[in-house]
Amino acid sequence: MDPLLLLAVDSGNTYVKWGLHDGHSWLKQGIAVQTEKALLEAEWRDLVEPARILVSHVGNMQTKMDLSELFSPWKAEPEWIAAVAYQCGVRNYYTDPAQLGSDRWAALIAAWELQRQGCLVVDTGTAMTVDALSDTGEFLGGIITPGVDLMQKILIENTASLNPESGKFRDYPDSTADAIYSGTMHALAGAVERMAALLAITLGHVPDCILSGGTAQQLQPQLNVSTRVVDNMVLEGLVLIAHESSEIPL
Protein backbone atom coordinates (compact mmCIF):
# COMPACT_ATOMS: atom_id res chain seq x y z
CA MET A 1 0.00 0.00 0.00
CA ASP A 2 1.46 3.34 -1.11
CA PRO A 3 1.12 5.88 1.78
CA LEU A 4 0.49 8.70 -0.73
CA LEU A 5 -2.38 7.10 -2.61
CA LEU A 6 -5.76 8.75 -2.16
CA LEU A 7 -9.03 7.38 -3.52
CA ALA A 8 -11.38 10.34 -3.97
CA VAL A 9 -15.06 9.54 -4.55
CA ASP A 10 -17.84 11.91 -5.64
CA SER A 11 -21.08 10.06 -4.97
CA GLY A 12 -23.91 12.12 -6.45
CA ASN A 13 -27.60 11.60 -7.05
CA THR A 14 -27.07 9.83 -10.38
CA TYR A 15 -23.36 9.02 -10.80
CA VAL A 16 -20.33 7.95 -8.83
CA LYS A 17 -17.16 9.66 -10.05
CA TRP A 18 -13.83 8.58 -8.62
CA GLY A 19 -10.11 9.03 -9.00
CA LEU A 20 -6.88 7.58 -7.61
CA HIS A 21 -4.38 10.36 -6.83
CA ASP A 22 -0.69 9.88 -6.00
CA GLY A 23 -0.02 13.31 -4.53
CA HIS A 24 0.94 14.83 -7.86
CA SER A 25 -1.61 13.74 -10.43
CA TRP A 26 -4.48 11.41 -11.16
CA LEU A 27 -3.38 7.85 -11.88
CA LYS A 28 -6.82 6.71 -12.89
CA GLN A 29 -10.37 8.10 -12.98
CA GLY A 30 -13.77 6.59 -13.66
CA ILE A 31 -17.51 7.11 -13.58
CA ALA A 32 -20.46 4.78 -13.07
CA VAL A 33 -24.20 5.10 -12.64
CA GLN A 34 -25.14 4.73 -8.97
CA THR A 35 -26.89 1.43 -9.70
CA GLU A 36 -23.81 -0.08 -11.40
CA LYS A 37 -22.30 -1.52 -8.24
CA ALA A 38 -20.81 -4.47 -10.14
CA LEU A 39 -18.97 -2.13 -12.51
CA LEU A 40 -17.39 -0.21 -9.64
CA GLU A 41 -16.46 -3.45 -7.91
CA ALA A 42 -14.73 -4.72 -11.06
CA GLU A 43 -12.82 -1.45 -11.60
CA TRP A 44 -11.71 -1.12 -7.99
CA ARG A 45 -10.67 -4.77 -7.70
CA ASP A 46 -7.57 -4.02 -9.80
CA LEU A 47 -6.61 -0.77 -8.05
CA VAL A 48 -3.51 -0.44 -5.94
CA GLU A 49 -4.82 -0.23 -2.38
CA PRO A 50 -5.26 3.42 -1.34
CA ALA A 51 -3.91 4.75 1.96
CA ARG A 52 -6.88 7.10 2.35
CA ILE A 53 -10.43 7.21 1.04
CA LEU A 54 -12.27 10.53 0.97
CA VAL A 55 -15.92 10.57 -0.07
CA SER A 56 -18.40 13.30 -0.88
CA HIS A 57 -21.79 11.60 -0.72
CA VAL A 58 -25.13 13.27 -1.44
CA GLY A 59 -27.05 10.20 -2.60
CA ASN A 60 -29.39 8.06 -0.54
CA MET A 61 -28.60 5.71 2.33
CA GLN A 62 -28.64 2.60 0.15
CA THR A 63 -25.94 3.94 -2.17
CA LYS A 64 -23.85 4.87 0.87
CA MET A 65 -24.18 1.32 2.17
CA ASP A 66 -23.20 -0.04 -1.24
CA LEU A 67 -20.09 2.12 -1.29
CA SER A 68 -19.16 1.08 2.25
CA GLU A 69 -19.33 -2.54 1.15
CA LEU A 70 -17.08 -1.84 -1.83
CA PHE A 71 -14.54 -0.13 0.42
CA SER A 72 -14.49 -2.99 2.95
CA PRO A 73 -11.63 -5.06 1.40
CA TRP A 74 -9.22 -2.17 2.05
CA LYS A 75 -7.67 -1.29 5.40
CA ALA A 76 -8.38 2.44 5.12
CA GLU A 77 -11.61 3.59 6.72
CA PRO A 78 -13.60 5.87 4.38
CA GLU A 79 -13.79 9.51 5.47
CA TRP A 80 -17.23 10.94 4.60
CA ILE A 81 -16.64 14.66 4.32
CA ALA A 82 -19.07 17.35 5.41
CA ALA A 83 -19.02 21.10 4.99
CA VAL A 84 -17.55 23.06 7.90
CA ALA A 85 -17.27 26.73 8.82
CA TYR A 86 -13.74 27.12 7.42
CA GLN A 87 -11.46 24.90 5.39
CA CYS A 88 -8.72 25.27 2.76
CA GLY A 89 -9.07 29.06 2.70
CA VAL A 90 -12.85 29.07 2.20
CA ARG A 91 -15.24 30.44 4.81
CA ASN A 92 -18.75 29.00 4.79
CA TYR A 93 -21.47 31.61 5.36
CA TYR A 94 -24.34 29.10 5.37
CA THR A 95 -26.54 29.62 8.45
CA ASP A 96 -25.82 25.99 9.35
CA PRO A 97 -22.46 25.23 7.67
CA ALA A 98 -22.97 21.46 7.83
CA GLN A 99 -26.21 21.74 5.85
CA LEU A 100 -24.31 22.70 2.71
CA GLY A 101 -23.89 19.69 0.43
CA SER A 102 -20.44 18.10 0.61
CA ASP A 103 -20.21 18.19 -3.19
CA ARG A 104 -20.82 21.94 -3.30
CA TRP A 105 -18.30 22.46 -0.50
CA ALA A 106 -15.56 20.46 -2.23
CA ALA A 107 -16.23 22.27 -5.53
CA LEU A 108 -16.00 25.67 -3.80
CA ILE A 109 -12.64 24.71 -2.31
CA ALA A 110 -11.38 23.61 -5.73
CA ALA A 111 -12.63 26.84 -7.32
CA TRP A 112 -10.91 28.99 -4.71
CA GLU A 113 -7.60 27.18 -5.30
CA LEU A 114 -8.06 27.70 -9.03
CA GLN A 115 -9.16 31.35 -9.00
CA ARG A 116 -8.08 33.02 -5.76
CA GLN A 117 -10.72 35.68 -6.42
CA GLY A 118 -14.48 36.01 -6.50
CA CYS A 119 -16.29 33.74 -8.95
CA LEU A 120 -19.42 31.73 -9.58
CA VAL A 121 -19.18 27.97 -9.13
CA VAL A 122 -21.80 26.19 -11.25
CA ASP A 123 -22.45 22.46 -11.24
CA THR A 124 -24.89 21.12 -13.83
CA GLY A 125 -25.93 17.67 -12.73
CA THR A 126 -29.30 16.24 -11.70
CA ALA A 127 -29.74 19.63 -10.05
CA MET A 128 -27.91 22.80 -11.02
CA THR A 129 -26.19 24.71 -8.23
CA VAL A 130 -24.86 28.25 -8.63
CA ASP A 131 -22.64 29.28 -5.73
CA ALA A 132 -20.95 32.64 -5.09
CA LEU A 133 -17.41 33.11 -3.80
CA SER A 134 -16.08 36.50 -2.69
CA ASP A 135 -12.64 37.94 -3.43
CA THR A 136 -11.53 36.85 0.04
CA GLY A 137 -12.72 33.24 -0.19
CA GLU A 138 -16.10 33.64 1.49
CA PHE A 139 -18.93 31.42 0.28
CA LEU A 140 -21.72 33.99 0.25
CA GLY A 141 -24.54 31.59 -0.65
CA GLY A 142 -26.05 30.01 -3.73
CA ILE A 143 -29.12 28.71 -5.51
CA ILE A 144 -30.38 25.29 -6.57
CA THR A 145 -32.62 24.52 -9.54
CA PRO A 146 -33.54 21.32 -11.39
CA GLY A 147 -30.92 20.41 -13.99
CA VAL A 148 -31.47 20.05 -17.74
CA ASP A 149 -32.88 16.53 -17.71
CA LEU A 150 -34.86 16.89 -14.50
CA MET A 151 -36.48 20.16 -15.59
CA GLN A 152 -37.64 18.58 -18.86
CA LYS A 153 -38.83 15.43 -17.07
CA ILE A 154 -40.90 17.42 -14.56
CA LEU A 155 -42.57 19.37 -17.37
CA ILE A 156 -43.34 16.31 -19.49
CA GLU A 157 -44.61 14.19 -16.59
CA ASN A 158 -46.95 16.93 -15.38
CA THR A 159 -48.36 17.93 -18.76
CA ALA A 160 -50.62 15.31 -20.33
CA SER A 161 -50.20 16.40 -23.96
CA LEU A 162 -46.37 16.39 -24.03
CA ASN A 163 -44.26 13.49 -25.23
CA PRO A 164 -40.70 12.68 -24.14
CA GLU A 165 -38.83 13.63 -27.31
CA SER A 166 -35.25 14.88 -27.68
CA GLY A 167 -35.09 18.51 -28.68
CA LYS A 168 -32.42 20.94 -29.83
CA PHE A 169 -31.71 24.52 -28.91
CA ARG A 170 -33.31 26.96 -31.33
CA ASP A 171 -33.57 30.74 -31.17
CA TYR A 172 -37.19 30.40 -32.26
CA PRO A 173 -38.28 26.80 -31.67
CA ASP A 174 -40.85 25.47 -34.13
CA SER A 175 -41.52 22.10 -32.49
CA THR A 176 -42.63 21.14 -29.00
CA ALA A 177 -39.49 19.11 -28.28
CA ASP A 178 -37.26 22.02 -29.29
CA ALA A 179 -39.44 24.44 -27.32
CA ILE A 180 -39.03 22.38 -24.14
CA TYR A 181 -35.27 21.97 -24.53
CA SER A 182 -34.70 25.60 -25.50
CA GLY A 183 -36.89 26.81 -22.63
CA THR A 184 -34.91 24.68 -20.21
CA MET A 185 -31.59 26.07 -21.42
CA HIS A 186 -32.90 29.65 -21.28
CA ALA A 187 -34.08 29.07 -17.71
CA LEU A 188 -30.76 27.65 -16.55
CA ALA A 189 -28.69 30.25 -18.40
CA GLY A 190 -30.88 33.00 -17.00
CA ALA A 191 -30.36 31.75 -13.45
CA VAL A 192 -26.58 31.78 -13.90
CA GLU A 193 -26.56 35.21 -15.53
CA ARG A 194 -28.75 36.75 -12.82
CA MET A 195 -26.40 35.39 -10.14
CA ALA A 196 -23.42 36.69 -12.11
CA ALA A 197 -24.98 40.17 -12.29
CA LEU A 198 -25.71 40.11 -8.55
CA LEU A 199 -22.19 38.97 -7.68
CA ALA A 200 -20.68 41.62 -9.95
CA ILE A 201 -22.44 44.31 -7.89
CA THR A 202 -21.18 42.74 -4.65
CA LEU A 203 -17.58 42.35 -5.87
CA GLY A 204 -17.31 45.53 -7.89
CA HIS A 205 -16.05 43.57 -10.89
CA VAL A 206 -17.41 40.97 -13.30
CA PRO A 207 -16.79 37.45 -11.94
CA ASP A 208 -15.68 34.44 -13.93
CA CYS A 209 -17.97 31.41 -13.97
CA ILE A 210 -16.44 27.99 -13.27
CA LEU A 211 -18.70 25.44 -14.94
CA SER A 212 -18.67 21.69 -14.32
CA GLY A 213 -21.00 18.71 -14.41
CA GLY A 214 -22.55 16.43 -16.99
CA THR A 215 -24.31 19.12 -19.02
CA ALA A 216 -21.67 21.85 -18.74
CA GLN A 217 -20.82 21.63 -22.44
CA GLN A 218 -24.50 22.06 -23.35
CA LEU A 219 -24.98 25.08 -21.13
CA GLN A 220 -21.74 26.95 -21.86
CA PRO A 221 -22.69 28.20 -25.37
CA GLN A 222 -25.91 29.73 -24.00
CA LEU A 223 -24.21 31.85 -21.34
CA ASN A 224 -23.43 35.52 -21.85
CA VAL A 225 -20.82 35.49 -19.10
CA SER A 226 -17.13 34.57 -19.01
CA THR A 227 -17.07 30.80 -18.41
CA ARG A 228 -14.47 28.13 -17.92
CA VAL A 229 -15.38 24.44 -17.99
CA VAL A 230 -13.44 22.40 -15.42
CA ASP A 231 -14.08 18.68 -15.03
CA ASN A 232 -14.35 16.86 -11.70
CA MET A 233 -14.32 19.88 -9.41
CA VAL A 234 -15.52 17.79 -6.48
CA LEU A 235 -12.65 15.31 -6.86
CA GLU A 236 -10.15 18.18 -7.08
CA GLY A 237 -11.61 19.63 -3.91
CA LEU A 238 -11.31 16.30 -2.11
CA VAL A 239 -7.58 16.21 -2.90
CA LEU A 240 -7.16 19.66 -1.34
CA ILE A 241 -9.14 18.64 1.75
CA ALA A 242 -7.00 15.51 2.10
CA HIS A 243 -3.85 17.59 1.79
CA GLU A 244 -4.90 20.02 4.51
CA SER A 245 -5.98 17.27 6.92
CA SER A 246 -2.89 15.10 6.57
CA GLU A 247 0.73 15.32 7.62
CA ILE A 248 1.54 13.33 4.49
CA PRO A 249 1.57 15.62 1.41
CA LEU A 250 -1.01 14.69 -1.16
CA dihedral angle for residue 73, residue 76, residue 81, residue 85, rounded to 10 degrees: 170
- Our separate counts of H helices and E strands in the chain read 7, 12
Q: Where are the alpha helices (DSSP H) in the chain?
A: 37-45, 61-71, 102-115, 148-157, 176-203, 216-219, 233-244
Higher pLDDT, 18 or 153: 18
State the pLDDT at residue 1: 56
Exposure on the CB side of residue 217, measured as CA atoms within 13 A: 2
Sheet holding 227-229, edge to edge: 86-87, 90-92, 138-146, 127-133, 119-124, 208-212, 227-229
Q: For 79-121, what is each residue's pLDDT tens digit?
A: 999 999 999 999 999 999 999 999 999 999 999 999 999 999 9
Higher pLDDT, 202 or 36: 202
Q: Where are the alpha helices (DSSP H) in 72-123?
A: 102-115
Q: Is the pLDDT assigned to residue 223 strictly greater than 60?
A: yes
Q: Using an 8 Å Cβ cutoff, are 107 and 234 in contact?
A: yes
Distances (CA, A) of 92 to 82, 102, 115, 185, 196: 12, 12, 17, 29, 19
State the pLDDT at residue 77: 95
The domains of the chain, with CATH numbers, are: 6-80 (3.30.420.40), 117-232 (3.30.420.40)
Catalytic residue positions, numbered: 103
Distances (CA, A) of 27 to 19, 24, 135, 158: 7, 9, 33, 45
CA pair distance 80, 82, nearest whole angstrom: 7
Q: Is the pLDDT assigned to residue 20 strictly greater than 90?
A: yes
CA pair distance 26, 17, nearest whole angstrom: 13
Residue 85 neighbours by CB under 8 Å, 6+ apart? 91, 92, 97
Residue 83 — φ and ψ, nearest 5°?
Answer: -65, 145
What 8-state DSSP symbol labels residue 221?
G
- For strands 127-133 and 119-124, give the pairing: antiparallel
Q: Is the pLDDT assigned to residue 250 strictly greater than 50?
A: no
Handedness of CA 147, 214, 87, 228 (dihedral sign): negative
State the pLDDT at residue 249: 46
CA pair distance 55, 81, nearest whole angstrom: 6
